[in-house]
């Protein structure tokens, strides 16, 4: 069964290079495929920094994280919701 969680992008600059690379690195730790999508977009592979950046997700944009692995969904959703540029 697919697990999914929708969160708002927390990074003040949206999902650009730094947040995208942090998310992709974490997603690559899981064996299962993890996807991210915005309400109007197609799902993209969360382990690809370049694909995450193609979402064009600004701060406050809703992003849905989906995977067969609930733990992976929780971990990636937490990162999407954080301001990764503040760290």
Which amino acids are annotated catalytic?
Answer: 16
DSSP the chain: --EEEEEE---TT-S-HHHHHHHHHHHTTSSS-EEEE-TTS--EETT-HHHHHHT---TT-EEEEEES-HHHHHHHHHHHHS-TT--
15, two tokens = 């999902």
């Amino acid at each position: 069964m697919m697990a999914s969680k929708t969160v708002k992008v927390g990074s003040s600059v949206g999902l650009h290079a730094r947040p995208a690379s942090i998310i992709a690195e974490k997603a690559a730790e899981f064996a299962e495929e993890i996807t991210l999508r915005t309400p109007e977009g197609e799902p993209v592979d969360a382990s690809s920094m370049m694909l995450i950046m193609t979402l064009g997700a600004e701060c406050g944009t809703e992003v849905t994280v989906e995977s067969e692995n609930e733990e992976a969904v929780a971990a990636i959703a937490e990162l999407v919701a954080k301001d990764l540029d503040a760290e």
